[in-house]
Every structure is written in C-alpha cells, then in structure tokens.
Amino acid sequence: MVTRGLGVLIVAAMATACGRTTDRAATSTTPAAVSSSAQPGDGLPSWNDGPARRAILDFVRRVTREGTADFVPPPARIAVFDNDGTLWAEQPIYVQLAFALDRVKALAPQHPEWKQKQPFKGILEGDHNAVAAAGERGLLEIMAVTHTGNTTDEFAKVVSEWLGSAKHPTIGRPYTELVYQPMLEVLTYLRANGFKTFIVSGGGVEFMRPWTERVYGVPPEQVIGSRARVQYEVKDGHPALRRLAAIDLVDDKAGKPVGIHQVIGRRPIAAFGNSDGDFEMLEWTTSAAGPHFGLIVHHTDAAREWAYDRASHIGTLARGLDEAGKRGWTVVDMRQDWKVIYPLQK
C-alpha cells in the first residue's frame, strides 16, 4: 500500500483537488463487519461520562419530550453525519484514495501504456516519489481512470469487491471494521429516538452506498456525497447510468448545506463532523430557530487512533476548534470521551 509519507503528499493534493475531483473515502460489502452494542435505552455505553456524552443525551431528551416548547416531531428529527474521520478512520490516507491506487494496479493489464506514463508508472513500480511529483494533475488523472467511464452498477460492484479484500495498511483490519463504535451507538440511539440519520460526506456517494446500510444502518437514499455526473443510456434495449468524467456536486464545505438541501430538503437539527470541511454543515444546522445540536469529533488519541487537527492535511480542524465554544458546539475529546475506538474484532 502507500507509505504514510506519500499518503500525506497525495492527500494534500487530493484535499485541494477534492474541490474539483470526485471524492475521498471508500468501503465494503463484505462480511458483516460491525456490531453496534447500543440498544434503545442503553444510552451510549462506549462513552465515558462527561460533557460530550451528557450533551448528546440531554439534547435527545429535550427534543423528544412531548408537550414542551423544545419538542420536535419525529419527521423533523433529521441528523447528519460526516463520514471520514467522524464515523470511520481517515488516516493515513482516505480510504477512497487507497482504493484508487489499488484500482490502477488492477486495471494496468488493460493499459500497457501505463508502464511508461506517470503517475501510473510510479504506482505500478511502488515509486512514491514519482507519484507525488505528478501532483494534483496526476491525482486527477488517477481519479478519472479509476472512477469514471463505467456504469453505476459496475462501479458499485468494483467497490464492494475491493472492500471485501482490502485491509488497512497499518492496522491490518478491513476498512469497514475501522468505524467508531461510540459513533455507531450515537446513530442507533438517535434512530431509536425517532431520528432519521443521514451521511453527508465529501467522499464519493457511490463509494459509500454499497455498504452504509450494512455497516451504519444508513440506507443508500440517506447517503449524500460528492458525485460524478451520470448519463442515462440505452444500449441494445438495456438501460444503464454511465459515470462521466465531470463533477456534479462537491459535497464539502459550503457544498454540504447545498447537498443537504438537494437531497433532504429541510434543515437538520443535529450535525456531527470532525473537520473544517464540516464547518458550514454545522453552521447551517445550528443556525435554525428551534432546538439544534452540533458536535465535532476531535482526534486526540495518538495511542489508540491518531491525534491531529490544525496542522493535518487530512481532516484539518482549526476554525471549528476556534469557534465551537461561542457557537455552542460540543467537542468530543476522543481520548477522554471514548472507552473504545473500534468495534470488537470478530
């Protein structure tokens, strides 16, 4: 796979390119990876008692108490979650980028010219410097050849197959097992209290939909993400949707409220993120007149996960930290607040 050094370089390019190319994170359709231990009524068993846990519980109690001013009827209980770094690990590189690099290797036999052409040559030869040297333009080429041209059904199949065998480069577990147990419990707890949970990710929507229902309990129609344009076509009587090399939505930063509006059509009352890419989603959600809730997962646990914020190329978190206090957002201290990070290994 990719070394951490190269990963950071590529992701630095990608974080920029992400504004124009398709997306980020990825995943699986493999053996059921995750068991959420939270049952309705349990509260949040993997959370240590503290201000973050109490803020979540208090908010949910407040909006579900009928006959009070803060009561929110179930249809309006919309909660949105970022994916990379909020629901699953995003280090050392976005999963979707790992997918793209592996995909180049898988497609190489059909592209003999790649042996002579950067950045593909570098990927195939494990020459990380060459890949990094190709920069943002090289990254866009990688994304284009690995993410477009096929049909939506074909792409979903490729994603599922890859996630069925790929392993995290340092932890060695399938990516879909590297989801945050405490956040799975939040999802379950909210749904048990009448919330509809949506994912709103900068990552590619078609990269998430094949597995979010199994892993998070979030069905495809509740997943919003960056997306390529697709085109309806009928060949020999068989209709398909073809993925074009053009961006339809960059669901990041100010694009997140736009994606939310396009798909959900009303303002959420709770938003969960981890980086400044989620800032506008949190701002939009917590500017509503009625009750609302915003939460940032702060990666503070270098021992059990990763510790990063302002200086990180992945999941940069600066403005969110600066303004969380005055905006009333809850900041999770991963090291303090979470008893466990990932679900128990099967």
| Residues of the shown chain interacting with a copy of itself in the complex, contacts defined by CB under 8 A | 75, 78, 152, 196, 205-206, 209, 213, 219-223, 227, 230-232, 234, 238-239, 241, 248, 254-255, 257-258, 261-266, 280, 283-284, 287
The residue (of 119 and 202) whose beta carbon lies closer to a copy of itself is 202
User: At 10, which amino acid appears?
Assistant: I
For residue 308, the cross-strand partners are 299
CB 214, min distance to a copy of itself, A? 11
Q: Rounded to whole angstroms, what are the CA distances from 336 to 26, 51, 55, 90, 110?
A: 28, 10, 15, 20, 50
In the complex with a copy of itself, the residue whose CB is nearer, 86 or 212, is 212
What are the tokens at 113? 């010219």
Question: Considering the complex, what minimum distance in angstroms separates the CB of residue 192 from a copy of itself?
Answer: 18
If the CB atoms of residues 266 and 310 are measured against a copy of itself, the closer one turns out to be 266
Please state whether beta strands 293-300 and 307-308 pair in parallel, antiparallel, or not at all (unpaired): antiparallel
Task: Please state the closest distance from residue 249 (CB atom) to a copy of itself, in A.
Answer: 8
* 228 membership: H or E segment, kind and range: strand 223-235
Give me the phi and psi of 195, to 5 degrees please. Answer: -80, 150
CB 335 within 8 A of CB 301: yes
Provide, rounded to whole angstroms, the least separation between the CB of residue 212 and a copy of itself. 10
Q: Which residue, 20 or 266, has its beta carbon nearer to a copy of itself?
A: 266
Report the nearest approach of a copy of itself to the CB of residue 220 (Å): 3
Shortest distance (Å) from residue 188 CB to a copy of itself:
17
The rounded distance, in Å, linking the Cα atoms of 239 and 237 is: 6
Nearer to a copy of itself, 89 or 250 (CB): 250
What token pair was written down for 273? 């993120």
Q: Do residues 42 and 162 touch, judged by C-beta distance below 8 A?
A: no
Q: How far apart are CA 346 and CA 340, in angstroms?
A: 15
Q: Where are the alpha helices (DSSP H) in the chain?
A: 4-17, 51-64, 95-107, 120-125, 128-133, 135-147, 152-165, 181-192, 205-208, 212-216, 255-263, 279-285, 319-327, 334-337
Q: From the CB of 203, what's the least distance to a copy of itself, in Å?
A: 14
* 106 versus 244: smaller Cβ distance to a copy of itself: 244
Cβ closest to a copy of itself, residue 116 vs residue 232 = 232
